[in-house]
């Protein structure tokens, strides 16, 4: 069943109209359509001299590229929307919903994740971003072993919890077993220059949640209430961050030695390095009432590895603008060498095959979560209903005998004193069963209206509300409708694999299984002036 949400815009502002995207016109799509098959053949044979590991591409990588080449193309199917007032029809092409290659679908996931976390997960409390980067020597194991990746992330979260406990004065006399953090961890497998760089961005509520159990009585019924008290953290200064970084370095190296991934003397050497490669950053902190700033931070944490607006073409090369910014351009020797060649330090000059190879290396593996919930924000936490903004409102209104929360549910979850209460099991009166609600799923039309202030289901002729009436997938219907509206009925051409550039101008026919020596003309090598002894085994 398809539900349509009505998005209300201010009456004074004229709503914008939605224009379908045309991915076949973008530079990335044209590059992939022209060179993907060539890269696939070279990578499968281990002959591509890129940054890959010269192994045959994984099936999920091939599937990601194949689905991207069909994303947004009307010839592969579309949804049909109609205005009930004037009868105007509107077509929306299907999306691939991929996680690695398609810029449109990955951007939609980024916006959907940030909107869900802002509206339904994080309470109105300060949120701080913790970023951890480890040495390149350890990233290799984290990139290829999910168990090692989870081990390092758990160590990072334990150090964050201990740091917040030490810097929360109100929680100093509380029971440590009743103190919990609330965090969402984002796993980044990429860097700003389209390179493999495993690191973590963790958005943590800047303080500790204390669980206090009690009893409540209402209308002769005794219920168990769970109260949550929030203790804000203060004093997260550079000294505390330095201590956390030193603790992380010792614990992570000890864990790698325990798993046999490093030798003991190697860990000791890394502990003695002046620049160890471990880096912790906590400089970004969002205030409690800055919900727009929190959503921008969460979009940054959930961002995809590739941004289409940073890619441009210069001649036969592709230039990708990185996010790196140097305070003093040209101060590094490497920057000076690039400046002599006319190359900026924050730009990548790639061939089409190199760009595809870098994107293929950054496709995330299937069934691997890219963000995880911890502490009171975890799905199975008994304190989630009291700490989460939407969860407190749903629990309070679910027949537990408690009062209906205030609009928004946030102030009811955490009041001015930092205390939230949610009722426990009781005997509610029989009511109609409530339909399950998936708050994490935000409809496509709502996301478009939220990000771009464009109503995609608004009729461009009369301004009425449009509704989706059909999904067209049958080839005969596709062709008939697309021919009627004057849209290309065939998908864009995908170029087949090509050989080396030297063969492009060669007109010599190549037989099946028969090697034919081409006539190179003046470039032909002259015959040797000596006789080769046939008895010599070469």
| pLDDT average, residue stretch 91-109 | 88
3-class state of residue 142 by DSSP: helix
Q: Which range (152-161, 336-345, 492-501) has the least confidence?
A: 336-345
Residues 343 and 359 grouped into a single domain? no
Rounded mean pLDDT, 360-368: 89
| Residue 274 C-alpha from the chain's centroid | 33
Q: Taking a C-beta distance cutoff of 8 angstroms, is the pair 231, 170 a contact? A: yes
Residues 250 and 145 in one domain: yes
- Residue scoring higher pLDDT (409 or 12): 12
Q: How confident is the model at residue 439 (pLDDT cuts 50, 70, 90)?
A: low
Decide if 124 is inside a domain.
yes
Q: What is the pLDDT of residues 240-265, one digit of tens each?
A: 999 999 999 999 999 999 999 999 99
Helices (H) and strands (E) in the chain, counts: 15, 18
Same domain as 170, residue 117: yes
- Report the chain's mean pLDDT, rounded to a whole number: 76
Domain count, the chain: 3
156 and 76 within one domain: no
Helices 146-166 and 136-144 cross at an angle (nearest 10°) of 120
Strand partners, 130: 202
Only one residue has tokens 């209402």, namely 218
- Tell whether 80 and 122 lie within a shared domain: no
Are 338 and 272 part of one and the same domain? no
Residue in the structure block whose two tokens are 């990955």: 106
User: What three-state secondary structure class fits 498?
Assistant: coil
The answer to whether 73 and 492 are in contact (CB under 8 A) is yes
Q: Three-class SS of residue 483?
A: helix
Residues 129 and 254 in one domain: yes
Q: Are residues 335 and 196 in the same domain?
A: no
Q: Quote the CA–CA distance of 107 and 141 in Å, as a whole number.
A: 28
What is the DSSP code (8-state) at residue 475? H
For residue 185, being part of any structural domain is answered with yes
Cβ atoms 230, 209 nearer than 8 A: yes
**pLDDT confidence of residue 85:** 84
- Is 403 part of any domain? no
464 to 3, 8, 20, 458, 470: CA distances (angstroms): 17, 13, 18, 6, 18
Shared domain check, 180 and 112: yes
Report pTM: 0.76
Say if residues 102 and 109 touch (Cβ distance below 8 Å): no
Q: Which residue has the tokens 């998908």?
A: 491
- pLDDT tens-digit series, residues 103-117: 988 988 898 899 989
Cβ atoms of 310 and 320 within 8 Å: the answer is yes
Collapsing DSSP to helix, strand or coil, 385 comes out as helix
For residues 25-42, give the mean pLDDT: 92
Q: Which of 84-98, 307-321, 398-412, 446-460 has the lowest mean pLDDT?
A: 398-412
Positive or negative torsion for Cα 96, 101, 104, 105: positive
Give me Rg for the CA atoms of the chain. 29
Q: Is 154 inside any structural domain?
A: yes
Alpha carbons 493 and 69: distance in angstroms, whole number: 10
In this prediction, residue 49 carries a pLDDT of 52
211 within some domain:
yes
Say whether both 288 and 161 belong to one domain. yes
Q: Which domain holds residue 186?
A: 103-311+354-373
**Cβ proximity of 412 and 386 under 8 Å:** no
Could you tell me which residues come within 8 angstroms of residue 428 by beta carbon, excluding any fewer than 6 positions away? 398, 399, 400, 401
Token pair listed for 269:
């050497």
Alpha-carbon dihedral 181, 187, 192, 198, rounded to 10 degrees: 110
178 and 35 in a common domain: no
In a domain, 431, yes or no: no
Would 472 be classed as within a structural domain? yes
Please indicate, yes or no, whether residues 138 and 210 belong to a single structural domain of this protein.
yes
Residue 491 counted as domain residue: no
């Amino acid at each position: 069943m398809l539900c349509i949400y009505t998005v209300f815009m201010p009456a004074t502002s004229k709503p914008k109209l939605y224009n379908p995207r045309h991915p076949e016109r973008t530079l990335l799509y044209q590059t992939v359509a022209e060179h993907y098959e060539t890269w696939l053949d070279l990578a499968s044979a281990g002959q591509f001299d890129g940054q890959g590991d010269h192994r045959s591409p994984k099936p999920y990588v091939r599937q990601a590229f194949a689905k991207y080449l069909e994303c947004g193309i009307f010839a592969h199917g579309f949804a049909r929307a109609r205005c009930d007032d004037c009868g105007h029809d509107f077509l929306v092409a299907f999306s691939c919903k991929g996680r690695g290659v398609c810029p449109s679908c990955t951007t939609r996931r980024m916006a959907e994740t940030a909107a869900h976390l802002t509206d339904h997960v994080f309470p109105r409390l300060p949120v701080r971003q913790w970023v951890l980067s480890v040495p390149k020597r350890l990233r290799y194991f984290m990139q290829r072993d999910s168990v090692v990746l989870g081990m390092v992330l758990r160590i990072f979260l334990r150090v964050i919890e201990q740091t917040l406990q030490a810097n929360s004065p109100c929680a100093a006399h509380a029971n440590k077993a009743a103190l919990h953090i609330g965090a969402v961890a984002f796993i980044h497998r990429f860097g700003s220059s389209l390179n493999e760089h495993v690191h973590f961005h963790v958005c943590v509520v800047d303080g500790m949640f204390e669980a206090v159990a009690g009893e409540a009585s209402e209308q002769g019924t005794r219920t168990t209430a769970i109260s949550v008290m929030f203790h804000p953290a203060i004093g997260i200064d550079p000294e505390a961050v330095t201590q956390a970084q030193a603790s992380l370095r010792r614990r992570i190296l000890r864990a790698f030695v325990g798993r046999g991934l490093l030798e003991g003397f190697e860990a000791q050497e890394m502990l003695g390095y002046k620049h160890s490669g471990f880096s912790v950053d906590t400089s970004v902190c969002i205030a409690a009432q800055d919900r727009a700033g929190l959503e921008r931070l969460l979009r940054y944490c959930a961002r995809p590895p590739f941004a289409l607006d940073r890619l441009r073409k210069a001649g036969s090369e592709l230039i990708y603008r990185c996010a790196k910014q140097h305070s003093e351009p040209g101060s590094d020797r490497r920057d000076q060498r690039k400046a002599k060649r006319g190359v900026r330090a924050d730009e990548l000059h790639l061939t089409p095959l190199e760009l595809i190879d870098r994107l293929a290396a950054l496709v995330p593996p299937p069934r691997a979560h890219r963000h995880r919930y911890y502490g009171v924000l975890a799905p199975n936490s008994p304190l989630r209903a009291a700490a989460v903004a939407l969860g407190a409102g749903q629990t309070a209104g679910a027949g537990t005998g408690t009062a209906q929360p205030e609009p928004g549910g946030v102030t009811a979850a955490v009041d001015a004193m930092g205390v939230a209460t949610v009722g426990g099991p009781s005997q509610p009166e029989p009511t109609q069963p409530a339909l399950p609600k998936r708050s994490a799923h935000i409809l496509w039309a709502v996301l478009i209206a939220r990000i771009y202030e464009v109503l995609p289901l608004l009729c461009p002729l009369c301004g009425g509300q449009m509704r989706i009436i059909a999904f067209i997938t049958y080839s005969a219907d596709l062709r008939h409708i697309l021919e009627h509206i004057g849209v290309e009925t065939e998908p864009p051409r995908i170029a087949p694999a090509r050989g080396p550039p030297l063969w492009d101008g060669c007109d010599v026919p190549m037989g099946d299984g028969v090697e034919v020596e081409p006539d190179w003309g003046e470039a032909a090598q002259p015959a040797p002036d000596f006789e080769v002894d046939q008895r010599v085994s070469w």
